[in-house]
Amino acid sequence: MTLAARGLRYGFRDRVVGEEVDFALAPGEIACVLGPNGSGKTTLLRTLLGLLPALAGEVTLDGKPLHAWPTRERATRIAYVPQASESYFDFTLREAVEMGRTAHQGVFASTSARDREQAAHALERMGLAALAERPIQRMSGGERQLALIARALATEAPHLLMDEPAASLDFGNQALILEELSALRGAGTAVLFSTHHPDHALRIADRAILIKAGRAMASGPAGEVLNRENLSALYGRPIDVATVTSPDGTPRRVCVPLGTGHR
Amino acid sequence: MIVARRRFPLWLAIACAGLAVLVAWSFGVGRFPVSIADVWRALWAALTGGESGLPANVQAVVTQVRAPRVAGAIAVGAALAAAGAAYQGLFKNPLVSPDILGVTAGCALGAGIAILLSLPIGAIQALAFVGGLLAVGLVVAVSTWVGGRDPLLTLVLTGVVVGSLFGAGIALVKYVSDPYNQLPAITFWLLGSFTGALPRDLPATLAPIAVGLVPLILLRGRLDVLSLSEDEARSLGVNVTVVRLTVIVCATLITASAVALAGTIGWVGLVIPHAARLLVGAPFARVLPLSLLLGAAFMLAVDTICRTAFGTEVPPGVVTAFVGTPVFIALLAISFRRSA
């Protein structure tokens, strides 16, 4: 079970967004895509999901080109957490999360007991069980984002692709997500997520891909790639990576923007 | 509402009971009132082929006049409501319905041409279907091409434009039709009416409606996912192109059959699915059955009132418009406030 990109050029028919992306995502690995606003992280994710065709190079799932997988088969192997989801219809949280089971159901079938069980389990992991019968439209942005993650968990897919999963979450829920992702890794799930928080990458990623101006400027083990030079170059600002010691004595690397600031 | 949406079986039972009461009432009232007992005896005799013992004129009123009319109103109401629910889910747009999308106008033009050429009911159906598919195809093509920041509004406006284009075609059909026989027939039918519901035409109408409903019922789960963004639907494993095409064809077939039977009756397809969603929540598996029942009951009630409450018969399309317009304005206001 591996998702891999080789010499990938991605974008739209009339516009190349990025190229020269190479990586492989093995089971139980967390990869992180970092890049400034507009660097094409979402487009890359959509290409890795098979929603956009690769312009050159290829994306493979278990060695087979992604486009050769039938839609439903692919959906049971790669789950997607979009940045946001908008429905004009008033589904409850439980109904929305049960949609994550679609690929497991026959085209004409409806939700089975196992589907309901998996959806309930996913809701519980995201701490949303108590809200299950609430209409999604009346929930906060953060709750909706947790709901999208729950929907992806309900798919039971071995690959999880997440587009800025922490974007609208408060500090506590960001920590919740990172813990859940670590737990998923422990269970053998491969996770790739894009983020604007290098700290999140430093905290849990095994592998990091830095994208700037349509090029993967660095790609490799997170510990090596996420250094002072690379991050400063990536965001065009002086950035320091410091080591702090947790109360329990474990060292932890954090990212600090330098510069003049206001004093 | 949180409590209410669990009560799907309850609302289904209430809608069934309501429809049954309306059917009994509709059979009984009119210029020639018939008691419920006599209605039952007449229908039983017609079904079993036995003798009802009723006067021949009572028997004829029940089985030849009222039965096709009741059946027609039920079928058309259910059909338009189901098509509306399907289009709304498909286009992720609470403001659309067969009439607002211009599908009804497309069907009416097709059927009008068939009437002009004095074709049989089967051909009227077929041409109505072709006209409806042309209209919805044009709406999808134009609104995709135009794009725009507000897809909800773009789709509605495109529907209005396409509808008026097909409306011009209908005007042309009327203009060239024979003013003594065809023109009154076409005009009256366009207003929407069940007076033309003849026993021999009913099977030709009911069959395509049933055929179109089956895939919609089967694809209920996929239709829910289709109401998310296309990226989400595809990543969840839905073959978006195939499901969309199937739903468009089925909903248009259903609309075409309803239009061929009863002309252009607007608003049912908009109002009823919303009423159903309000009662049982968003999942299509619940919205569709309840829409069918509510649509049938609503249409039957409207038609019965139209033929009994006034000195002369009022076209039911007029009454549905009086109900539908304020509902549409309310929906428009809600959608805009949300997007603002």
The model's pLDDT over A53-68, given as tens digits with 9 standing for 90+, comes to 999 999 999 999 999 9
Strands A207-212 and A215-221, by their bridges, are antiparallel
What is the span of the domain harbouring residue A82?
3-257
Residue A234 in tokens: 């990536």
CATH number, position A84: 3.40.50.300
| B282 chain-A contacts, CB cut-off 8 A | 87, 89-92, 95
Confidence band, pLDDT 50/70/90 cuts, at residue A119: very high
Count Cα neighbours of B137 within 13 Å in the Cβ-side half-sphere.
Answer: 10
Q: Which of A211-215, B111-115, B250-254 has the highest mean pLDDT?
A: B250-254
Q: What is the pLDDT of residue A261?
A: 57
Q: Which of B89, B224, B232 sits opposite A82 (nearest CB)?
A: B232
pLDDT digits (tens, 9 = 90+) for B80-107: 999 999 999 999 888 899 999 999 999 9
| CA distance readout (Å), A141 to A168, A169, B330 | 6, 8, 26
- Residue B224: closest C-alpha in chain A: A99
Cβ within 8 Å, pair B228-A85: yes
Closest C-alpha among B11, B20, B25 to residue B303: B25
**Residues of A whose CB is below 8 A from B236:** 75, 80, 99-100, 102-103, 155
- The domain ranges of chain B are 4-339
Q: Measure the CA–CA gap between B256 and A229, rounded to whole angstroms.
A: 66
For residue B5, pLDDT over 60 is answered with no
pLDDT at A151 over 90: yes
In a domain, A123, yes or no: yes
User: Could you tell me if A242 lies within 8 Å of chain B, comparing CB atoms?
Assistant: no
Phi–psi pair at B14, nearest 5 degrees: -60, -45
CB contact under 8 A, B89 and A89: yes
Report the pLDDT value the prediction gives residue A191, as an integer from 0 to 100. Answer: 96
Which comes out higher in pLDDT, residue B195 or B74? B74
CA distance A190 to A184: 8
Residue of B152, B229, B282 with shortest CB distance to A90:
B282
pLDDT, tens digit, for every residue of A26-48? 999 999 999 998 888 999 999 99
List chain B residues with CB under 8 Å of A75. Answer: 234-237
Q: Is B218 on the interface with A (CB under 8 A)?
A: yes
B30 to chain A nearest CA, in Å? 41
Closest residue to A88, CB basis, from B93, B222, B283? B93
d(C-alpha B277, C-alpha B288), whole Å: 9
Q: Are strands A56-61 and A64-65 parallel, antiparallel or unpaired?
A: antiparallel
B178-184: long-range contacts at Cβ-Cβ below 8 A with a sequence spacing of 24 or more? B182/B115, B182/B116
User: How confident is the model at residue A81, as a pLDDT?
Assistant: 96
pLDDT (tens digit per residue) in A247-256: 888 888 999 8
In A126-257, alpha helices (H): 141-154, 171-186, 198-204, 222-225, 228-235
In the three-class reduction of DSSP (H, G, I as helix; E, B as strand; rest coil), residue A6 is classed as strand
Among A201-215, B102-116, B323-337, the minimum mean pLDDT is found in B323-337
Q: What are phi and psi of B79, to 5 degrees?
A: -65, -50
State whether B228 and A80 contact (CB < 8 Å).
no
Q: Tell if the CB–CB gap between B218 and A75 is shorter than 8 Å.
A: no
Surface-to-core class of residue A171, CB atoms within 10 Å of its CB (0-12 exposed, 13-18 middle, 19+ buried): exposed
Q: Residue B190: which of B315, B100, B324, B299 has the closest Cα?
A: B315
Angle, helix B103-116 to helix B121-146, in steps of 10 degrees: 150
Higher pLDDT, B203 or B302: B302
pLDDT cut 90: percent of chain A above it: 67
CB B334: neighbour CB atoms within 10 A?
Answer: 12
Task: Mark yes or no for CB contact B227/A88 under 8 Å.
Answer: yes
Q: How many domains does chain A contain in total? A: 1
Which residues lie closer than 8 Å to A234 by C-beta, 6 or more apart? A34, A35, A36, A210, A212, A217
Residue B2 pLDDT grade (very low, low, confident, very high; cuts 50, 70, 90) = very low
Mean pLDDT of chain A: 91
User: Is the pLDDT reported for residue B4 higher than 70?
Assistant: no
**What's the whole-number mean pLDDT along residues B172-187?**
88
CB–CB contact A99 B224 (8 Å)? yes
pTM for this entry: 0.90
Architecture of the domain delimited by B4-339: Orthogonal Bundle (1.10)
Residue A181: inside a domain, yes or no? yes
Q: Which two tokens stand for residue B258?
A: 């309803």
Amino acid making up residue B336: F
Residue of A81, A102, A155 to mutate for B, most B C-beta atoms under 10 A: A102
Instruction: Give the A window 101-130 contacts with B, CB below 8 Å.
Output: 102-103, 105, 107-111
Instruction: Say what the pLDDT of residue B3 is.
Output: 46
Interface A-B, measured as beta-carbon pairs within 8 A, has a size of: 93
Say what the pLDDT of residue B339 is: 54
Distance from the A209 Cα atom to the nearest Cα atom in chain B, whole angstroms: 23
Mean pLDDT value across residues B159-167: 94
Tell me what pLDDT residue A228 has: 92
For residue range B22-56, what is the model confidence (pLDDT) as tens digits?
A: 999 999 998 889 999 999 999 999 888 888 788 88
Nearest CB among A80, A86, A107 relative to B235 is that of A80
- Written as six digits, the tokens of B311 are 């000195």
Site of tokens 């239009």: B259
Phi, psi (rounded to 5 degrees) for A60: -125, 145
